[in-house]
Amino acid sequence: MELEQLELKMKVEFPIKGGVDRMENLMKMVNMQGQERQVVLKNLKMPCFYETVDDMYAFLHRFEVYADSQRWKKRQWAVYLSALLRGKALDVYYRLPVKDAQDYETLKDALLKGFNLTEESFKQRFKFARAETGEACK
């Protein structure tokens, strides 16, 4: 019953052709020991990424801290992260080959590049950064 509800939800949230099949493949990848298929996302208690309100760099940092605190295996991080992506971030994810989408570091690099968060953009941010009112410089 719970599995059927998740599949229906994924059909709504992943309407791109092959989206559900791709998500199922990613979920199966997590269950490599031949265990019965599990709903790996049921304990994910982190808000989704919304580009209108979230900063991708800060979101990824928060995700890494959360994933580490949950003691997830790093090979599963990409699967969990993919469930939290929306909008442009989801587009970046879907453009990756499946193998790259399953690798957290590759996915993270693609997302940072997709949001123009490169070394050069960080240099520019730093160059034009100003202390906020009441903020002490150390």
Task: Per-residue pLDDT tens, the chain, 138 aa: give them.
Answer: 555 555 555 554 444 444 444 445 544 444 444 343 333 455 678 899 998 999 999 999 999 999 999 999 999 999 999 999 999 999 999 999 999 999 999 999 999 999 888 767 656 676 677 777 777 766
The token pair that represents 68 in the structure block: 């580490």
Q: Could you tell me the pTM of the whole model?
A: 0.62
The token pair that represents 44 in the structure block: 């994910």
Return d(Cα 79, Cα 30) in angstroms, integer.
Answer: 8
